[in-house]
Structure 1
Amino acid sequence: MLSKEALKRKYNRGDYTVGAHTVPKFAREAAPEATTARFQTSALPAGFVENLAGLAGVTEVVTEAAAVTAGVRDWWAGTMIAETDHRGQYPDTVIVKVSSVEGIQAVLAAANEAGVPVTASAARSNVTGSALPAAGGVVLDVLALDQVLDFDEESQIITVQPGIFGDIFEQWLQDRGFTAGNWPSSFGISTVGGWVACRGAGQLSTRYGKIEDMVVGLDVVLADGTLVSTGGSPRAAVGPDLNQVFTGSEGTLGVITSVSLRVHRLPDYTKALAFGFPSFAAGLDACREILQRGANPAVLRLYDELESGVQFGHGETNVLLIADEGNPIIIDAVMAVVADVCKDAVVLDQDAILETWLDTRYLTGKSAEGFKASAGFVADTLEMVAPWSKLPGIYERVVAAINAVPGTNAGSAHQSHAYVDGACLYFSLRGTVEPDERQAWYDQVWQAVNSVLIEENASISHHHGCGLLRSPYVADSLGTGFTVLSDLKKALDPKGILNPGKLGL
Structure 2
Amino acid sequence: MTQYMNTTPPIEFSGSAATASAHFPTQGRGLITAEVLAQLTSACTSTTDAATLAESGRDWWPLSLSWALRNETAALPSVVCRPRNTSEVSAVMRICNEVKIPVTPAGGRSGVTGASIPLYGGVLLDLTSLQGINAVDAISGIVEVLPGTFGPDLESELNAQHQLTVGHYPQSFDISTVGGWIACRGAGQFSTRYGKIEDMVVGLEVVLADGTVVLTGGAPAAAAGPDLTEVFLGSEGTLGVITRAWLRAHPLPEFRTTAAYRFPTFAQGIEACRQLIRAGATPAVLRLYDGSESKRSHEGDGTQATLLVLDEGNEQLVAATMHIVQQYSNQNHAIAADTALVEKWLSHRNDTSALQSLTKKGFVVDTIEVAAPWSQLMHVNDAVVQSLLQVPHARSATCHLSHSYLDGACVYFTFAATPPAEEFEKTYVALWDAAQRAALQAGANLSHHHGVGLNRNRFMSEALGTGMKVLQSLKTTLDPNNILNPGKLGLNTGSNDAALWPMR
Q: TM-score, normalised by structure 2?
A: 0.91
Match of 1:107, SS state, is helix
Q: 1:37 aligns to what?
A: 20
Distance apart, 1:31 and its partner CA: 4.8
The verdict on how the C-alpha distance between 1:86 and 1:380 changes in structure 2, with shifts beyond 3 A counting, is same
Q: 1:280 aligns to what?
A: 266
Matched, 1:253 2:236: no
The verdict on how the C-alpha distance between 1:31 and 1:413 changes in structure 2, with shifts beyond 3 A counting, is farther
Quick check: 1:44–1:92 contact (8 Å CA) kept in 2? Answer: no
Matched, 1:333 2:320: yes
Matched, 1:98 2:83: yes
Q: 1:83 aligns to what?
A: 68
* Deviation sequence 1:406-450 (CA, Å, 0-9, x none): 111100010000001000011101111122221111000001111
Which residue of 38, 41, 45 corresponds with 1:50? 38
Which residue of 303, 306, 314 corresponds with 1:319? 306
Task: Report how many residues are paired.
Answer: 479
Quick check: 2:185–2:197 contact (8 Å CA) kept in 1? Answer: yes
* Deviation sequence 1:11-40 (CA, Å, 0-9, x none): xxxxxxxx95279xxx99745556523589
The code of the aligned residue for 1:48 comes to V
Matched, 1:120 2:105: yes
Which residue of 336, 346, 350 corresponds with 1:362? 350
* Deviation sequence 1:315-363 (CA, Å, 0-9, x none): 3410011111111111111111111101143434342111111011111
Distance apart, 1:43 and its partner CA: 3.2
Quick check: 1:289–1:341 contact (8 Å CA) kept in 2? Answer: yes
Which residue of 113, 130, 133 corresponds with 1:148? 133
Q: 1:171 aligns to what?
A: 156
Q: 2:6, 2:97 → 1: CA distance?
A: 35
Q: 2:80, 2:9 → 1: CA distance?
A: 23
Q: 1:91, 1:178 → 2: CA distance?
A: 40
Q: 1:362, 1:89 → 2: CA distance?
A: 24
* Deviation sequence 1:167-216 (CA, Å, 0-9, x none): 11001111121111100001110000100000000000000000000000
Q: 1:204, 1:54 → 2: CA distance?
A: 43
Taking the TM superposition and a 5 Å limit, the aligned residue runs for 1:315-464 are: 315-344=302-331, 345-364=333-352, 375-464=361-450
Distance apart, 1:64 and its partner CA: 3.5
Q: 2:213 aligns to what?
A: 227
Quick check: 1:374–1:432 contact (8 Å CA) kept in 2? Answer: no
Match of 1:390, SS state, is helix
Unpaired stretches in structure 2, ≥5 consecutive residues: 492-504
Q: 1:493 aligns to what?
A: 479
Quick check: 2:134–2:144 contact (8 Å CA) kept in 1? Answer: yes
The verdict on how the C-alpha distance between 1:291 and 1:28 changes in structure 2, with shifts beyond 3 A counting, is farther
Which residue of 276, 279, 285 corresponds with 1:290? 276
Q: 1:210 aligns to what?
A: 196
Distance apart, 1:72 and its partner CA: 2.8
Which residue of 7, 17, 21 corresponds with 2:5? 21
Match of 2:423, SS state, is helix
Q: 2:500 aligns to what?
A: none
Distance apart, 1:264 and its partner CA: 0.1
Quick check: 2:102–2:121 contact (8 Å CA) kept in 1? Answer: yes
Distance apart, 1:133 and its partner CA: 0.4
The code of the aligned residue for 2:322 comes to M
The code of the aligned residue for 1:37 comes to A
Matched, 1:190 2:173: no
The code of the aligned residue for 2:465 comes to G
The verdict on how the C-alpha distance between 1:28 and 1:133 changes in structure 2, with shifts beyond 3 A counting, is closer
* Deviation sequence 1:65-90 (CA, Å, 0-9, x none): 33211123211102112332454353
Q: 1:398, 1:467 → 2: CA distance?
A: 21
Q: TM-score, normalised by structure 1?
A: 0.91
The percentage of counterpart residues that share the same residue type is 43
Unpaired stretches in structure 1, ≥5 consecutive residues: 1-18
The code of the aligned residue for 1:201 comes to A
Quick check: 1:375–1:435 contact (8 Å CA) kept in 2? Answer: no
Distance apart, 1:279 and its partner CA: 1.4
Distance apart, 1:455 and its partner CA: 1.6
The code of the aligned residue for 1:278 comes to P
Q: 2:495 aligns to what?
A: none
Quick check: 2:53–2:76 contact (8 Å CA) kept in 1? Answer: no
The code of the aligned residue for 2:63 comes to G
The verdict on how the C-alpha distance between 1:91 and 1:300 changes in structure 2, with shifts beyond 3 A counting, is closer
Match of 1:394, SS state, is helix
Q: 2:479, 2:468 → 1: CA distance?
A: 16
Quick check: 2:104–2:124 contact (8 Å CA) kept in 1? Answer: yes
The verdict on how the C-alpha distance between 1:433 and 1:470 changes in structure 2, with shifts beyond 3 A counting, is same
Q: 1:137 aligns to what?
A: 122
Q: 2:499 aligns to what?
A: none
Match of 2:465, SS state, is helix
Q: 2:490, 2:429 → 1: CA distance?
A: 17
Quick check: 1:38–1:65 contact (8 Å CA) kept in 2? Answer: no
Which residue of 49, 55, 80 corresponds with 1:70? 55
Q: 2:95 aligns to what?
A: 110
Quick check: 2:13–2:72 contact (8 Å CA) kept in 1? Answer: no
* Deviation sequence 1:216-237 (CA, Å, 0-9, x none): 0000000000001000000000
Q: 1:16 aligns to what?
A: none
Quick check: 1:365–1:379 contact (8 Å CA) kept in 2? Answer: no
Quick check: 1:218–1:260 contact (8 Å CA) kept in 2? Answer: yes
Quick check: 1:185–1:361 contact (8 Å CA) kept in 2? Answer: yes
Q: 2:453 aligns to what?
A: 467
Match of 1:270, SS state, is strand
The code of the aligned residue for 1:21 comes to M
Quick check: 1:399–1:412 contact (8 Å CA) kept in 2? Answer: yes
Quick check: 1:302–1:415 contact (8 Å CA) kept in 2? Answer: yes
Q: 1:238, 1:21 → 2: CA distance?
A: 38
Quick check: 1:368–1:430 contact (8 Å CA) kept in 2? Answer: no
